[in-house]
Structure 1
């Protein structure tokens, strides 16, 4: 993780971000922005931890939406 704002936030604490290259930054309004470099997904939060938590949820949704499995196992 590249962190401009807080090195204590750990993306590896979230399964969806394990081994991900995450960049942290802070915008002009004081929000923390977390970017997943591999997927291009970004999220924000009031704290670095909140930004990472939101990013993990967004990456999970992104991966589910782009999964090639049609999900017809229940048929």
Structure 2
């Protein structure tokens, strides 16, 4: 991997940023990974569902992921999802 490739997706340790996934019901027991892309956006992934989201700060990225995972879970459980359209 070139140094340019690693700069595009630099991993971030959640313990080093002020973002706690367990503070959100949808992420309470989730295994979450975070990285920073070449544009400085924080990208977070829920390893179990495969859902990803992003944000300008670690906190925003985790909050966006929690919302996306909740929507994913609702869709997978047969909910209409109309409330978020």
Task: State the TM-score, normalizing by the size of structure 2.
Answer: 0.73
Runs of 4 or more, structure 1, over 2 Å off, are: 5-8
Tell me the secondary structure at the aligned position of residue 24 of structure 1.
strand
Equivalent of 2:55 in 45, 59, 73? 45
Q: Which moved more, 1:4-13 or 1:38-47?
A: 4-13
Task: State the TM-score, normalizing by the size of structure 1.
Answer: 0.82
1:4 aligns with 2:12: yes
| Runs (5+) with no aligned partner, structure 1 | 71-75
| Runs (5+) with no aligned partner, structure 2 | 1-10, 81-85
Tell me the secondary structure at the aligned position of residue 60 of structure 1.
helix
